[in-house]
Structure 1
């Protein structure tokens, strides 16, 4: 079922709210789930509009309070696509909450690579160079020029992504529904989502050991053996243990402090 079959409820005004609320992506961030609060805040009005029942709203908000991290200027593209998917789900379509979460996970990594390279590495450097060259001549307009040169195109992309993300998502979902491959899409996004999670573990979790058997040039480094078995094996094990612990719903602060204390103790005795 497409979003149109149940009656499209999302308007241009709703997409404008996504754009405005997404300004909080850099203002609400923590080490546990990074931009998750801003993501839920951005999609809040959409969820409220699509789901009249309190239980459905709670389920949707919980789905968008999962880990989320992306270049802010492209965050609205994901939010627009997710909005189209939530609309189909609310209208009784063949989309489950797991598929929506998988799409978010699979998109935020590649889009962050593009966004960071385009805006934060390239365009910000160019515009800062222009602004600094003027400011170094004693002209305070250099700072203003940098602000305008960087933010006007960045915010234009930020806004366009919200509109185009929803339009692309709606059109794609209609085509998928007409060809009856929605279940296959759900399965594929699950695979891509798990690949993205694996990539994040390899790039964001670093656990190594300096232990070795023997001495001198003949010493056998345990880390080298583990890397031959599977690269980042200790990182995967650490992530799996923490995932299991979090499944018990403990106090997050206690878990974080415990990880810090354990890491310091292992480093002190030369284990990790």
Structure 2
């Protein structure tokens, strides 16, 4: 709440409106274009209407935000808060370069997405899903509820505080972060942490054990294939399946087809008595 202490009553009301509108930012998104401009304009309308008094100034601001925009949901509210702060500064300072608003918004999409994708899709969603699946596997409906709570509560709080944080710090924070190299370090650390979490969750939740046996010639003993696979590399088959799925996704194969293929492969191996 300290982020709101320096805001006037009118500004707090404006930012609450921006916050609730920001949930619709992805409404204009399509799989082909990921073009969020309409959602961005709708989100920033309270800011534009408050700080710009003439119709011409408002038109210029609306046109300024028709550019392509795509950043990770929830964390992209930091950009919306920062842009709101810059729009306010632009309305008060006639010497302010309005082009810098678009430039800052475009330059932050990559770093914000790098951090946001690693955290939300690579860490938070995976951890929440892992816990939810573990509970659901016991037959309790709490699995789905716990998953939704573990993901959405942090996402809601970050969505909220990112907006006010961006509006409060203004442009000086971003400039200092870039100059010090902090943005590159933060992006790299988040990516590494996301990869580590993905690796650990893959090892924990992707399982494969074959029941295939081979008779040893001239003996009544049988050779368990799984034992030899474990001696070669523990978890080699789950790793191969995961890397194969990742390779297909990199080749732009629809994720639904990948999931269906894995399901069919599991059914086929079960019917053949291999797994």
1:129-168 correspondence runs (5 A): 129-168=130-169
> What residue number does 1:34 align with?
35
Q: Does 1:80 align with 2:72?
A: no
Q: Counterparts of 1:94-173 in structure 2 under 5 Å?
A: 94-169=95-170
Cα distance in 1 between the residues matched to 2:160 and 2:94: 27
Say which SS state the counterpart of residue 61 (structure 1) adopts: helix
Q: Which residue of 2 aligns with 1:23?
A: 23
Deviation at 1:9? 9.0
Partner of 1:241: none
Tell me what 2:53 maps to. Answer: 52
DSSP 3-state at the match of 2:19 = helix
- 1:36 is displaced (CA, Å) by 1.3
Structure-1-length-normalised TM-score: 0.58
Say if 1:10 and 1:83 are closer, same or farther in 2 by CA, change over 3 A: farther
Once the two structures are superposed, the pairs formed by residues 178-217 of structure 1 within 5 Å of their partners are: none
Paired with 2:9 and 2:68, the residues of 1 have a C-alpha distance of 27
Q: Which runs of 5+ in 2 are unaligned?
A: 1-6, 180-275
Shift of 1:20: 1.0
Q: Deviations over 1:77-118 (max 9, x none)?
A: 001111111001111243222110000001111010000000
Distance of 1:64 and 1:10 partners within structure 2: 23
Q: Is the 8 A contact 1:9 1:50 kept in 2?
A: no
8 Å CA contact 1:19, 1:162 repeated in 2: yes
Q: Measure, in 1, the Cα distance between the counterparts of 2:124 and 2:20.
A: 22
Query: 1:171 Cα deviation (Å)?
Result: 6.2
Shift of 1:33: 5.7
1:162–1:10: structure 2 CA closer, same or farther, 3 Å change rule? Answer: farther
Counterparts of 1:25 and 1:132 in 2: how far apart (Å)?
A: 30
SS in 2 for 1:95: coil
Q: Structure 2 CA distance, aligned partners of 1:98 and 1:9?
A: 29
**SS of 2:68's equivalent?**
coil
RMSD over aligned Cα atoms: 2.6
Are the counterparts in 2 of residues 19 and 159 from structure 1 also a CA contact under 8 Å? yes
Matches within 5 A, 1:59-74: 59-74=60-75
- The Cα offsets for residues 213-272 of structure 1, whole Å up to 9 and x where unpaired, read as xxxxxxxxxxxxxxxxxxxxxxxxxxxxxxxxxxxxxxxxxxxxxxxxxxxxxxxxxxxx
Alignment of structure 1 residues 218-237 onto 2, 5 Å:
none
Residues 74 and 38 of structure 1, relative CA distance in 2, 3 Å threshold: same
State the secondary structure of the residue aligned to 1:34. Answer: coil
**Equivalent pair of 1:46/1:83 in contact (CA under 8 Å):** yes
Residues 1-34 of structure 1: per-residue CA shift (max 9 Å, x gap): xxxxxx9796122122221111112332033462
SS in 1 for 2:128: helix
Distance 1:61 1:54, change over 3 A: same
